[in-house]
């Protein structure tokens, strides 16, 4: 059943909002350098989904208007974080291999 709203005497159908992902983030994820970044870290043992989620979170904070400098900042920070996590993983019980 459609939901209606009255706007200045006229009835207007309200459409449910779809979950939105920034078009610039989709563009960022589709770039060759981003795909290469994800593949390189996947080869080092991280899941692609995990790397993509990290990129999403960092893009929200540092992506700005989606220019190349901002995107390079996102990839740089993600690389730093993944590298640090790799070097300290054995310090946390959850990551220890038995």
pLDDT confidence of residue 19:
42
pLDDT confidence of residue 49:
94
pLDDT confidence of residue 24:
85
User: Rounded CA gap, 6 and 8, in Å?
Assistant: 6
Sign of the four-CA dihedral 24, 70, 29, 57:
negative
3-class state of residue 23 by DSSP:
helix
H or E segment to which residue 20 belongs? none
pLDDT confidence of residue 68:
74
Domain segments of the chain as ranges = 32-87
Consecutive 10-residue averages of pLDDT for the chain (98 residues): 54 51 80 96 93 94 76 93 88 67
């Amino acid at each position: 059943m459609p939901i209606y709203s009255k706007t200045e005497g006229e009835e207007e159908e309200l459409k449910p909002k779809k979950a939105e992902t920034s078009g610039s983030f989709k563009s960022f994820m589709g770039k060759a350098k981003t795909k290469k970044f994800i593949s390189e870290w996947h080869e080092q043992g991280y899941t692609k989904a995990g790397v993509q989620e990290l990129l999403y979170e960092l893009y929200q904070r540092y992506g700005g208007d989606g220019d190349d400098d901002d995107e390079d900042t996102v990839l740089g920070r993600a690389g730093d974080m993944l590298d640090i996590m790799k070097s300290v993983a054995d310090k946390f019980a959850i990551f220890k291999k038995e």
